[in-house]
Structure 1
């Protein structure tokens, strides 16, 4: 995902884990995010909030992101500092919720994405 490079930060929205890893280590240090759980040739996703698995067994990444965004809105949780711009892009550019009031960085990205080629 190239978004962190454009926004100039290295925080990650997701973390890969193996089903064989110790389950208590899966969410350690993860305030908000998505776990990609790999088992042999299968991959499943879970939503993490405050180091707790909230929604286990989600079939795809996009559904996990939508559920995480819904949780953040419903519980009125501020975006974590390291992921602030990632969540702002998802909310205001991809989901088009409150897109008129973006930070300068996100507004610049939105304009670049929506610019028509002549």
Structure 2
């Protein structure tokens, strides 16, 4: 079972992503918060395997998460979700062992299924 933490500032999108994760076989929703600042203190306790983060509101917080992730938990997959039709290729610098991935929010269901396939 892959544990997922969601970071999304828009309540409706957060609820939809949480429902998606809960309904997807092989995944457990361990947390859903609005900001990276809220997520960072929870990461060590929740030990997520996948962290879904809204990339469209990315700012210093997303860089902070990327830098601290390797220290907090070395193996989670950081996935930046974008609503843009062509997500920007650059991802925040990360000390995690797996580099961040950027995908469209509409591709989240297919992406999650690909991880358990």
TM-score (norm 1): 0.30
Highest RCO, 1 vs 2 (Cα 8 Å, sep ≥ 6): 2
TM-score (norm 2): 0.30
